[in-house]
Structure 1
Amino acid sequence: MNVTENQNGSALRGRVRAVVHGVAYGDALGAPVEKLSAAQIRERYGRVTSLRTKWHRDGQSEAARQGRVRGNGIVTDDTAMTLALMRIYQRELRHLDAWDMGNGMVREITWERYWVPELQREAPLIERLFYPEKWIFQRHQLSGCDPRQGGVGNMVNCGAAMYIAPIGIVNAGDPTAAYDEAINFAMGHQQSYGLEAAGVLAAAIAQAFIPGTTVEDIVRVAHDHAHDGTRDAIAAIADAAENLRRKGADADEVTAEFQSCIAPFSAMGDDLVHKPEKAGRASHAYQPSRLFSIEELPLALGFCITTGGNFKKAVEDGINSGRDTDSIGVMAGSILGALHGETIIDAEDAALLDSANKMNLKHLSDQFTQAVIQIHSKDMARAEQTAMTRRRLNEQTQKAAE
């Protein structure tokens, strides 16, 4: 399948740039309000529509902020780990599996030093990561587990899905291959519905590269590849989103309806802050279940529907819905970046993302694209060889039958 050009003629390189930009934009837009409820965001900000937004924790002590800074275009671990996965592909120039999580990702987060924007210094990324992502190091290096069992025992969350976009790109045009590779790789990090979400998001992004694809096609492919609670949650949100779009519901009404729909599948709620009062009381919201779903992915798909696939509005509606705002923004941004290509990239926003984070997203994207092209070339050669072998086997079978 030819995925080098989409329906409006944008090249693969431009679409990869758009996915990476979509990740960084959604991340940076949502980061200042992460863990606030939709009501708290409305009360404090009205509506967040600009990267030049002040972090809601600005003014707190450095200890309270854990030494971090956010706002005004600064990205978080969502983007940092996406870039780490891109670098693994650039080194290996092949498809990945759980052993690459145990080797490549452990090296990336633990033993390499990069500029960490939130810390405003070069450091191993693990110094910034949340515990479910530190689990990668603990399981693979400290415990020496079978790489395929790396995710077992981890807190179930969206941590693998938030950086999985590069797998969708590497498998552009083949959602099933994207799903399979994402599961094979991310099982070294996540389990249960957290792992499922990674596979489904990769499939959605791979579908978005197919010429002529619509938002409806992407949601259908996501639903059809999903299992258990993730599949049911996507169906519930998609049905609600279609009804809300037809009636022209405003963003606040959409948020309220979506959070009502997702409640049976996610017990996250509005209180995301880990604090002493919660000690010893593990929430069932983060435990394995055949019935649950992370909420970020179904919500991101829902906002893609209600906004008619409008990149900026989908990301803005997503992050203004509250809770895990940056990851919702990342997922909506990566899907619609893949769908629309470079047209979604605002020059001023791109410049701010680069300057605030001391990176060149265009250059990093183009380097990754070269790796993707090489992997695609190997895939096509392998497919041709397989087809030739099967033709010969079929010919031999027919001759034997005669």
Structure 2
Amino acid sequence: MASTACIPPVPAPQGAVGLRDRARGALLGLAVGDALGAPAENMKPSEIRARWGRITGYVAENPAGTDDTEYAIFSGLLLARYGSALTPVDVETAWHEWIADREEGPFRGAGFSERGTLENLRRGLAAPISAQHRHAWSDGLAMRAAPHGVFAAGRPAEAARLVAIDGSVSHEGEGIYGGQAVAAGVAAAMTGAPAVVVVASALAVVPDDSWTARCLRRAMTAAHRGERAVRSAVVIGGYPWTDLAPEAVALAFGAYAAADGDFTDAVLTAVNMGRDADTTAAVAGALAGATRGVDAIPAEWAAAIGPARGTCLPTMAGHHVREVADLLTHAARGVPHGPEGEPRGPESAPRGPEGALPRSPYPPVPDIGTAAEVSS
């Protein structure tokens, strides 16, 4: 069972960063971390040092987000349309209409969990059966979980509920828990909560005896000793794949905690630990960007992030993470967005009778009290 301990509300600090700036910080921070970490993906720290020394900025000639960013945009656009009424049917239909039933980009659906999901959907399997493949424990949900925390700012339990619905098509077990930890952490960070509360919010929504929770606790115990200690405490030595959700999520939170929420330090710590560096840096960037706001992201890093190229998901081409952040901010406030703000990818998402949004079959989940009212 997940912890039921109540986390004390966090008062909004004087001159608090606005909700829109935190939303933009979270999603732009995700894209920046993704682009910084992509060249170091699947590498060991020794290999990173041998090639670049310590990475302190972009090492790619044309830095850009990878599948992590494009899938986060995908989930963000879907959530902006349905909000708290999101259902597994909505998610499954979007996977068909925006990915599975269209021509894929060069990444061909991205990682192992995405490939397994697409193959199952194309065989006619529906959620949750579509998530029954060999990599349902991957960090593929964690990499697209931040938008749920942005939408449910200050409501970690609701963020965790929504991301589990999103993940029901593609993930099971630890894969779901990893996504829930990230979504809840971002939701808490959107209030400007200190790192200890952000981490506690993540732990509160996953089972105490889960692999994800154990890895998170080990990372937090080691965080004050820096990145090498975090990596040693978490990495599954000898395992050939780097996309294990418990490992990747713990490395990301460990980097964030070791940096005490500082954006630059959090992201570079995640990058230089290697392993699934684009995802760990993306998650650390989302957490730190939500905590400190968009202005905490170095200007030269932010400037390099343009609209998605559609390399993995052609239907996401042209969307910018800032656009998605603004859509989610409006959706969270219940503010309708007109034709100019209407998501271009989700135009064919299903609607209920006469265009109404379908009701969620899930009961509302009470919050755990992580945040006070979020300033706008």
Q: Distance in 2 between matches of 1:356 and 1:196?
A: 27
Counterpart secondary structure, 2:304:
helix
2:130 aligns with one of 150, 174, 177: 150
Q: Name 1:363's counterpart in structure 2.
A: 323
1:78 aligns with one of 68, 72, 96: 68
| Cα displacement (A) at 1:6 | 6.2
Q: Name 2:229's counterpart in structure 1.
A: 257
1:300 aligns with one of 252, 258, 273: 252
2:222 paired with 1:240: yes
Structure with higher Rg: it is 1
Q: Could you report, residue by residue, the CA deviation over 1:186-238 in whole angstroms, capped at 9, with x for unpaired residues?
A: 12111121111001111111111235x10011111212222211111111111
Query: Which structure is higher in helix share?
Result: 1
| Cα displacement (A) at 1:178 | 1.2
2:90 paired with 1:100: yes
1:50 aligns with one of 57, 65, 69: 57
Q: Distance in 2 between matches of 1:359 and 1:96?
A: 21
Alignment-mate amino acid for residue 368 of structure 1: L
Alignment-mate amino acid for residue 11 of structure 1: G
Counterpart secondary structure, 1:144:
coil
Greater RCO between the two (CA within 8 Å, min separation 6)? Answer: 2
1:34 aligns with one of 3, 27, 41: 41
Counterpart secondary structure, 2:55:
coil
The share of aligned pairs that are identical, in percent, is 25
Q: Could you report, residue by residue, the CA deviation over 1:24-63 in whole angstroms, capped at 9, with x for unpaired residues?
A: 0000000011111111001110011112x13xxxxxxxxx
Q: Name 1:351's counterpart in structure 2.
A: 303
Contact 1:98 1:188 in 2 (8 A): yes
Q: Name 1:63's counterpart in structure 2.
A: none
Q: Name 1:185's counterpart in structure 2.
A: 166
2:72 paired with 1:91: no
Q: Distance in 1 between matches of 2:90 and 2:107?
A: 17
Counterpart secondary structure, 1:295:
helix
| Cα displacement (A) at 1:369 | 2.5
| Cα displacement (A) at 1:183 | 1.5
| Cα displacement (A) at 1:324 | 0.5
Contact 2:203 2:216 in 1 (8 A): yes
Alignment-mate amino acid for residue 221 of structure 1: S
TM-score (ref. length: structure 2): 0.76
Q: Distance in 2 between matches of 1:356 and 1:346?
A: 20
Q: Distance in 2 between matches of 1:126 and 1:371?
A: 30
Q: How does 1:166-177 map to 2 (within 5 A)?
A: 166-177=147-158
Q: Which runs of 5+ in 2 are unaligned?
A: 1-8, 310-317, 337-363, 365-376
Q: Distance in 2 between matches of 1:141 and 1:168?
A: 30
Contact 2:151 2:328 in 1 (8 A): no
Q: Name 2:290's counterpart in structure 1.
A: 338
Q: Distance in 2 between matches of 1:13 and 1:84?
A: 19
1:17 aligns with one of 11, 24, 45: 24
Q: Distance in 2 between matches of 1:144 and 1:150?
A: 5
Q: Name 1:66's counterpart in structure 2.
A: none
TM-score (ref. length: structure 1): 0.72
Alignment-mate amino acid for residue 103 of structure 1: T
| Cα displacement (A) at 1:375 | 7.5
Q: Could you report, residue by residue, the CA deviation over 1:351-393 in whole angstroms, capped at 9, with x for unpaired residues?
A: 21117956544334323332332279xxxxxxxxx9xxxxxxx
2:140 paired with 1:159: yes
Alignment-mate amino acid for residue 262 of structure 1: V
2:190 paired with 1:209: yes
Q: Name 1:225's counterpart in structure 2.
A: 205
| Cα displacement (A) at 1:320 | 0.5
Computed over aligned residues only, the root mean square deviation of the Cα atoms, in angstroms, reads 2.9
| Cα displacement (A) at 1:144 | 2.6
Q: Distance in 2 between matches of 1:6 and 1:366?
A: 22
Q: Which runs of 5+ in 1 are unaligned?
A: 55-70, 114-122, 245-253, 274-284, 287-292, 377-385, 387-402
Q: Could you report, residue by residue, the CA deviation over 1:124-183 in whole angstroms, capped at 9, with x for unpaired residues?
A: 5872512311223222342332x2333223412101111111111121111111112212
Distance 1:323 1:137, change over 3 A: same
| Cα displacement (A) at 1:99 | 1.8
